[in-house]
Amino acid sequence: MEQLIVALGWAGLYGPMALGAIGSVIGCAIAGQAAIGALLETESGHGRFIGLTAMPSSQSVYGIVVMFSLQRPVTDDTAPGLFAVGILAGVALLLSAVYQGSCCASAINSAKSKPEIFGLSIAPAAIVEGFGVFAFIFALVIGGDIPQQ
């Protein structure tokens, strides 16, 4: 049982980075597919579509920072906290990135028909990013209470 607890601690330690990266991959792919379609249907403005596809990648960065902030010995005492903070923050980052990619795809699809709404159309993606930031800050604050030993 002790080995399982320690293994879960290790999963929590590296979970934010891995789950954030998985979400970023999916989110960037969703937005990227919409951008590729928009490139075929528009004559200009391609740079902003391609730039928007990178927006979900920020959750990978948040996950890396959380992972480094949780760096401490994985023991029976620290493992439950590392698991809870790391995995829950990682899942939040994953979902934030995926749904942000969907918001970016919608922005691209609407802006290709009506370019003047591009700025407004990215607002939902920025709001979803905010929830990723909340999870990031939560993990940093709560993770600081896990003993360093």
Please spell the DSSP secondary structure of 54-93, one letter per residue.
TGGGHHHHHHHHHHHHT-S---TTTHHHHHHHHHHHHHHH
**Is residue 88 one of the residues assigned to a domain?**
yes
- Which residue range(s) make up the domain with 129? 2-143
Q: pTM to 2 decimals?
A: 0.92
pLDDT score, position 10: 95
Whether residue 132 lies inside any domain: the answer is: yes
Give me the residues of the chain with pLDDT under 50, please. Answer: none
**96 alpha carbon, distance to own chain's centre:** 5
Domains: count for the chain: 1
95 belongs to a structural domain: yes
Is residue 96 within 8 A of residue 129, CB to CB? The reply is yes
pLDDT, residue 60, reads 97
CB atoms inside a 10 Å sphere around CB 74:
21
Is residue 149 included in any domain, yes or no? no
Q: What is the pLDDT of residues 86-96, one digit of tens each?
A: 999 999 999 99
At residue 45, the pLDDT reads 74
How far apart CA 3 and CA 6 sit, in angstroms, is 5
CATH code at position 79: 1.20.120.610
